Amino acid sequence: MLCDLRSSFSIVAGSALPVVAGVGGSKPERLAEERPRIGVLALQGAFREHLRMLAELGAPAREVRVPGDLEGLEGLVIPGGESTTMGLLMETGGLLAPLREFVVKHPVLGTCAGLIMLARETVDGEQPLLGVMDVTVRRNAFGRQNRSFEGSVELSLNPDSCEGFHGIFIRAPWVERAGPDVEVIARLDDRIVGVRQDRMIGVAFHPELGHDTRLHAYFLESVAAVRR
């Protein structure tokens, strides 16, 4: 188990406390001064909600639809949606190679289908993936009766922190295998629902659909850390 917060769980949707170590209360102001150049992949899926949350944090982002949109960006969000469709659109739009090249060099946050796109493989068969993160994911893993639900995720963004996060899961995957260089950052019960490898963060749920900005703030902090 990553950590056990069930008895002390108190942070729920609606909380937007900047509790990530190193992010601190002044970060949104600082980021506003130095405007990080963030992109949100906008081929399909829940990209608008990410744009809204990033803007709320003082980091208005650019929609990425074609390879040229990646130019000059410092970080990228890959949203939830439908990974097979997203993969096909990446393939036909000539985005697979430029995206692979981008995400191995810059911070990236993948949510739900975005996590699937980052994965090396799925257990569900072949589909175009970026394949950059050493994890195997199972799509729609939580079963039919649980296609959409909300749950108390245990989130550990720093080695010495473990917090609750209200996770919104929509036909969500889980991580079935995580390689040696992959750090587990979130669990729901015993399932792995959040991982990090280098500057890549992937979560199976949808932080952009709630009000808790900690994961986006954490992503922006890793963009800021690359600049320093």
Q: Looking at 39, 75, 80, 167, which residue binds ligand GLN (CB under 6 A)?
A: 80
Say which of 74, 112, 162, 166 is annotated catalytic: 112
At residue 70, the 3 state secondary structure works out as helix
Q: Which of 20, 8, 12 is nearest to 214 (CA)?
A: 20
Answer yes or no whether residue 83 interacts with ligand GLN by CB under 6 A.
yes
Q: Write out the binding residues for ligand GLN, residues 13-72 only, by CB under 6 A.
A: none
Shortest Cβ distance from residue 159 to ligand GLN (Å)?
28
Query: Are residues 39 and 14 in contact, defined by beta-carbon separation less than 8 angstroms?
Result: no
Shortest Cβ distance from residue 186 to ligand GLN (Å)?
15
Query: Residue 14 is encoded by which pair of tokens?
Result: 């609606």
Q: What share of the chain is helix, strand, coil (3-state, %, to 5)?
A: 30, 30, 45
- Spatial neighbors of 126 by CB under 8 A, at least 6 apart, are none
Distance separating alpha carbons of residues 165 and 163, to the nearest angstrom? 7
C-alpha triplet 174, 143, 47: angle, nearest 5°? 55
Answer yes or no whether residue 139 interacts with ligand GLN by CB under 6 A.
yes
206 has catalytic annotation: yes
By beta-carbon proximity to ligand GLN, the closer residue of 187 and 206 is 206
By beta-carbon proximity to ligand GLN, the closer residue of 20 and 76 is 76
Answer yes or no whether residue 82 interacts with ligand GLN by CB under 6 A.
yes
Q: Write out the binding residues for ligand GLN, residues 142-181 only, by CB under 6 A.
A: 170-171
By beta-carbon proximity to ligand GLN, the closer residue of 106 and 139 is 139
Q: Looking at 76, 116, 188, 200, which residue binds ligand GLN (CB under 6 A)?
A: 116
By beta-carbon proximity to ligand GLN, the closer residue of 61 and 129 is 129
Distance separating alpha carbons of residues 31 and 106, to the nearest angstrom? 17
Distance separating alpha carbons of residues 211 and 196, to the nearest angstrom? 22
Cα-based distances in Å from 192 to 87, 111, 147, 214, 223: 23, 13, 17, 19, 24
By beta-carbon proximity to ligand GLN, the closer residue of 36 and 219 is 219
Distance separating alpha carbons of residues 100 and 163, to the nearest angstrom? 31
Answer yes or no whether residue 207 interacts with ligand GLN by CB under 6 A.
no
Shortest Cβ distance from residue 30 to ligand GLN (Å)?
31
Answer yes or no whether residue 113 interacts with ligand GLN by CB under 6 A.
yes
Q: What is the set of active-site residues?
A: 112, 206, 208
Residues that bind ligand GLN (CB under 6 A): 80-83, 112-113, 116, 139-140, 170-171
